[in-house]
Structure 1
Amino acid sequence: MSWKWEYAFGAEAAARTAPADFLAAVSQQAEELVRAAEALHVHGRGDEGTDPEGGDIIVSGGMFEYQVVVRSERVYVVQITYLGF
Structure 2
Amino acid sequence: MTWAWDYNPDKTHVAGGAPLAFLAAVEEKVAEVVRMAEAVYLDGTAYTGGPLSLETVAVKGGMFTYGIIPRLELVLVHSVSPNP
Match of 2:17 in 1: 17
**Separation (CA, whole Å) in 1 of partners of 2:4 and 2:43:** 15
Structure 1: gaps of 5 or more residues: none
Q: Which residue of 2 aligns with 1:3?
A: 3
Aligned residue runs from structure 1 range 59-70, under 5 A: 59-70=59-70
2 CA distance for matches of 1:52 and 1:34? Answer: 14
Residue type of the alignment partner of 2:76: Y
| 5+ long unaligned stretches in structure 2 | none
RMSD: 1.5
CA distance in 2, matches of 1:12, 1:41: 29
Q: CA deviation at 1:10?
A: 6.7
Determine helix, strand or coil for the equivalent of 2:2. coil
Partner of 2:52: 52
Normalized against structure 1, the TM-score is what?
Answer: 0.88
Structure 1 residue 82: Cα displacement: 1.0
One-letter amino acid of the structure 2 residue matched with residue 52 of structure 1: L
Partner SS state of residue 5, structure 1: strand
Which residue matches 2:31?
31
1:60 is matched by which residue type in structure 2? K
1:83–1:56 CA distance, 2 compared to 1 (3 A): same
Superposed displacement of residue 11, structure 1: 5.7
* Identity between Structure 1 and Structure 2 (%): 36
Matched length: 84
> TM-score normalised to the size of structure 2?
0.89
